[in-house]
Amino acid sequence: MSFDTNSWLDNLSVKWKILAPFCFLAGVIGLSLIALFFVAFSRYQDSVVEDRAKHLSSSIVYALETMRYHTELERYVAILGAEVDVDLLLIVDPATEYVFVSNRVAFRESMARDLPDGALASEVVQSIEEPSSRGMLMWGANTASYAVAAPSLRLDGARSRELVIFVRLKTKSVTAQSSGMAQQLAIGLLAALALAMLVASKLLYDLVISPLSKLSAIAHARTVDPETMAPFTRRLDEFGELSRSVLQSFTEARENANRFEIQAQSDSLTGLGNRVLFKERLHMALAHAERSGKIVALMILDLDNFKDVNDTLGHDVGDQLLQRVATILKESSRQVDTVVRLGGDEFAIIADDLDRIDGVLVHANRILTALSEPQMINGHEVHPGVSIGITSYPQDARDPDVLLKNADLALYRVKAEGRGNIQLYRHELHLKVIERNAIERDLRTAITEEQFVLYYQLKVDTETGGIVGAEALIRWRHPERGMIPPDVFIPVAEKNGSICKLTDWVLTEACAEIRRMMDMGLPPVSVAVNVSALDLRRPDFTDQVAATLVRAGVSPKYLEIEVTESTVMHDVDQVIGTLRRLRALGVSISIDDFGTGYSSLAYLKQFPVQTLKIDRSFVADMTDDLNSHAIPQLIVDLARNLGVSVIAEGVETEEQRELLLSMGCGQAQGYLFSPPVPSAAFVEMLEDKVCFPRENKLDESSDSPLPVSVA
Ligand code: C2E
Ligand code: MG
Ligand code: MG
């Protein structure tokens, strides 16, 4: 059997390493003491027996010296022999080998039978003659004999002879008293030894084992702090030294860990916490709120103009702006709130222990106001602006990841609706996302399954009501959801890129429609197609348009492209390039929703535009108040100055038509004339040469008005 002694010993706890040898030593000492005791005790007993034998033989010697008749001696010896501890008393005459005195009445007879007197006498005499064996003779376990030479005596007038006195004692009786005492002494000694061991082990335990186990427990629990360690570190012994070293290394380790943790959890630029700290604090806040039943609010903040600041004023100013924002966020928040920078220009605030959510709105408003103030950085006036999305526990969600998503969604909403605002997460926002995902999924198959249809809305001459063109507007006939308006799916298609396929489909359909009109012998009107920013960034877009026109056999002059104002303001150079190529092809271009996109007039001059479309919100806002006419009037004047046409969208009432007419807006589009209609209804209206208003209907024979934007 192989047995690794070292590892076995190593695995033994120090307690047992100390206690086991200690117990072993105590056992050895105890056993040695007992053995020593027995040796000493038997020696002592021997001396007791010897003393007693000496005493008896001295008495007999004295009697021999003083008594004249051996009968007197016999009586005296009989008295002595009757004592309890005396087994046998003999007076032997070595000359005759005759035993003549015994204490026992029946002695002579028994001696005669078991041991002839002569033999006994010679044995006794022999023992006297051998000096070494003088003294004690052990006869069995329970008796001891003692023989002594007596002086020459003259008894009964006989000649003097040397006699031997033989004493045999019952050792038990002799030592009875002393052994009782010795037993008590032994028990006392053992008890004292046991007590000493107990005291020693208690001391050992208190002084060595207990401090050692406490030290190892402290080290193990890693709750090493100066206060709990004080009883140890104050000591001057090895434990003191050990605990001081342990405390020092733990303190150093903790300081290093703290330093590392702070570094790992903070944002080096702003000094705020980072995403790591954010996650940890959010978990803690939610756990605490679960116990306390309070509310936790989570705010995600995103700077509105950070990219512009970075691009125009440089990264140094950008960095300083982020630091300034960090200070403002800290100052606008409570001490207990967690303010972190999640990355880039995105910040987050966790406000916990709230009774109501209202306080957070006040908090968010305070931040919004502070960040809408211009900031002076390196002599530049910077307008950071911020959008804030807010969600709360437990109303909106209980899971930290879901809460974060909610806040992001609310923030996205603010951004989509024009920035610089606050949005609380609502469940509807979430539903919108779900709907959005469903739309995105269904869009993939919608074209191949021919679920799209193209509607046409007339553009008319504001004064005469004659048809001057049409706008193609896409509709989605969803097999389950019914008709889905473009406002719902166009943004999704723009986001996932499928808008390009949609535009191709619309272009093909619109050109086919123009072809159909021509084939039917109808006077063709130009049809406008809406295109998105992504289309304008396609390098092959112009080729695509040209190919579609060629395939349908339609002249470019009948096609119009509508781009929204915000679309053309992105990647201006690229967009201008595409628009110029389209224009060179012969396609006309109009700017849709004009007035809503804060377009730069400087750029506008560079765009090869033929028409501005006044956004329907300005038309809807027109009332008796002259101020409400200002923007449409401005756009009409601008168009005139730029030498382009102008058309108003969303004209719903006769009053609006008249007002627009009075402003000089030559064309209009809206429900007053016709809603967007399917191809068949559109063709019908063309066939009828419908004129709006009806009373102004043009004469059948008159020429159909030409498209205004024909190049
Ligand atoms: P838009 O290009 O400004 O189109 C005009 C919108 O105003 C159309 O909404 C039209 O139905 C609506 N409208 C016309 N007259 C009136 C009126 O008198 N009152 C009111 N309240 N609304 C009127 P629709 O068809 O829902 O289209 C919405 C937007 O979707 C369009 O705005 C356009 O930006 C986009 N869109 C539509 N079809 C397409 C397309 O094929 N491609 C692209 N990229 N976008 C499209
Ligand atoms: Mg349009
Ligand atoms: Mg429009």
Note the ligand closest to the C-alpha atom of 668.
1
Going from the Cα of 34 to the center of ligand 2, the distance in angstroms, rounded, reads: 117
Q: Give the contacts of 661 (CB within 8 A, at least 6 positions apart).
A: 462, 463
Q: Any idea which residue has 């003549």 for tokens? A: 100
Going from the Cα of 563 to the center of ligand 2, the distance in angstroms, rounded, reads: 7
pLDDT of residue 262: 77
CA 152 to chain centre: 112
H helix or E strand, kind and range, residue 358: helix 358-372
Is residue 510 within 8 Å of residue 548, measured between CB atoms? no
**357-388 core/surface letters (b: 16 or more CB in 10 A; e: else):** beebeebbeebbebbeeebebeeeebebbbbb
Q: Is the pLDDT of residue 472 over 90?
A: yes
Rounded mean pLDDT of 48-68?
77
Q: Is the pLDDT of residue 597 over 80?
A: no
pLDDT digits (tens, 9 = 90+) for 486-539: 988 998 999 888 999 999 999 999 999 999 999 999 988 999 999 999 999 999
Q: Is the pLDDT of residue 104 over 70?
A: no
H helix or E strand, kind and range, residue 701: none
Is residue 646 within 8 Å of residue 665, measured between CB atoms? yes
pLDDT of residue 4: 47
Q: Give the contacts of 567 (CB within 8 A, at least 6 positions apart).
A: 531, 532, 533, 536, 575
Q: Is the pLDDT of residue 283 over 50?
A: yes
More confident residue, 416 or 684: 684
Q: Which of 151-155, 328-332, 631-635 has the lowest mean pLDDT?
A: 151-155
pLDDT of residue 280: 93
Alpha carbon distance 442, 445 (integer Å): 6
Residue 133: pLDDT band (50, 70, 90) is very low
Rounded mean pLDDT of 686-696?
62
Query: Which residues, in sequence order, are bridge partners of residue 668?
Result: 460, 648
State both tokens at 192: 């004292």
**Extended beta strands in 327-466, E state:** 338-343, 346-354, 375-377, 380-382, 386-393, 422-424, 452-461
Q: Is the pLDDT of residue 106 over 90?
A: no
Angle between helices 400-416 and 275-292 (to 10 degrees): 110
Residue nearest to atom 21 of ligand 1 (CA): 650
Ligand 1 atom, smallest distance to 535 CA: 44
pLDDT of residue 711: 21
Alpha carbon distance 288, 294 (integer Å): 8
Q: Which of 42-46, 56-60, 165-169, 668-672 has the lowest mean pLDDT?
A: 165-169
Residue 451: pLDDT band (50, 70, 90) is very high
Show contacts of 650-658: CB within 8 Å, 24+ apart. 650/615, 650/616, 650/617, 650/619, 650/620, 651/619, 652/619, 652/620, 654/693, 656/619, 656/622, 657/462, 657/693
Going from the Cα of 530 to the center of ligand 3, the distance in angstroms, rounded, reads: 9
The string of DSSP letters for 80-91 reads: HHTSTTEEEEEE
Q: Is the pLDDT of residue 130 over 80?
A: no
| Alpha-carbon dihedral 423, 427, 428, 434, rounded to 10 degrees | 110
Ligand 1 atom, smallest distance to 672 CA: 18
Is residue 412 within 8 Å of residue 387, measured between CB atoms? no
Query: Which backbone phi and psi does 599 adopt, to 5 degrees?
Result: -70, 150
pLDDT of residue 674: 94
The percent of the chain in helix, strand and coil, each rounded to the nearest 5, is 55, 20, 25
**Extended beta strands in 619-695, E state:** 645-648, 667-668, 677-678
pLDDT digits (tens, 9 = 90+) for 421-438: 999 888 777 667 777 888
Q: In testing the pocket of ligand 1, which one of 454, 563, 649 has its CB within 8 Å of the most ligand atoms?
A: 649
Q: Is the pLDDT of residue 127 over 80?
A: no
pLDDT of residue 69: 67
Considering only CA atoms, which of 188, 204, 189 is closest in space to residue 22? 204
Residue 151: pLDDT band (50, 70, 90) is low
Q: Is the pLDDT of residue 105 over 60?
A: no
pLDDT of residue 162: 63
Considering only CA atoms, which of 619, 610, 506, 612 is closest in space to residue 552? 506
pLDDT of residue 112: 40
Is residue 471 within 8 Å of residue 669, measured between CB atoms? yes
Q: Is the pLDDT of residue 561 over 80?
A: yes
Rounded mean pLDDT of 349-365?
90
Going from the Cα of 460 to the center of ligand 2, the distance in angstroms, rounded, reads: 15
Query: Which backbone phi and psi does 136 adopt, to 5 degrees?
Result: -75, 140
Considering only CA atoms, which of 533, 625, 612 is closest in space to residue 579? 533
Q: In testing the pocket of ligand 1, which one of 460, 473, 499, 538 has its CB within 8 Å of the most ligand atoms?
A: 473
Is residue 612 within 8 Å of residue 633, measured between CB atoms? no
More confident residue, 221 or 471: 471
pLDDT digits (tens, 9 = 90+) for 64-98: 777 766 667 767 777 887 787 877 777 666 666 55
What mean pLDDT value characterizes the chain? 82
Q: Any idea which residue has 């702003």 for tokens? A: 270
Q: Is the pLDDT of residue 149 over 60?
A: no
Q: Is the pLDDT of residue 297 over 90?
A: yes
Going from the Cα of 593 to the center of ligand 3, the distance in angstroms, rounded, reads: 4
The DSSP secondary-structure symbol of 471 reads E
pLDDT of residue 680: 95
Q: What pairing do the DSSP bridges indicate for beta strands 559-564 and 526-530?
A: parallel
**Which range is most confident: 6-10, 43-47, 315-319?**
315-319
Q: Give the contacts of 271 (CB within 8 A, at least 6 positions apart).
A: 326
Going from the Cα of 61 to the center of ligand 2, the distance in angstroms, rounded, reads: 157
Question: Domains, the chain, ranges and CATH?
Answer: 18-179 (3.30.450.20), 226-264 (no CATH), 275-425 (3.30.70.270), 452-687 (3.20.20.450)
Alpha carbon distance 351, 392 (integer Å): 9
Residue 452: pLDDT band (50, 70, 90) is very high
Alpha carbon distance 444, 493 (integer Å): 9
Query: Which backbone phi and psi does 116 adopt, to 5 degrees?
Result: -60, 140
Going from the Cα of 590 to the center of ligand 2, the distance in angstroms, rounded, reads: 9
pLDDT digits (tens, 9 = 90+) for 194-229: 888 888 888 888 878 888 888 788 777 766 777 878
Considering only CA atoms, which of 533, 524, 578 is closest in space to residue 556? 524
pLDDT of residue 111: 41
Note the ligand closest to the C-alpha atom of 528.
2
Alpha carbon distance 333, 541 (integer Å): 51
SS3 string, 529-570, reads EECCHHHHHCCCHHHHHHHHHHHHCCCHHHEEEEEEHHHHCC
Amino acid at the residue 277? L
> Which residue ranges have their beta carbon within 6 Å of ligand 1?
457, 473-474, 485-487, 490, 506, 530-532, 562, 592-593, 616, 649-652, 669-671, 676
pLDDT of residue 76: 79
Rounded mean pLDDT of 287-295?
93
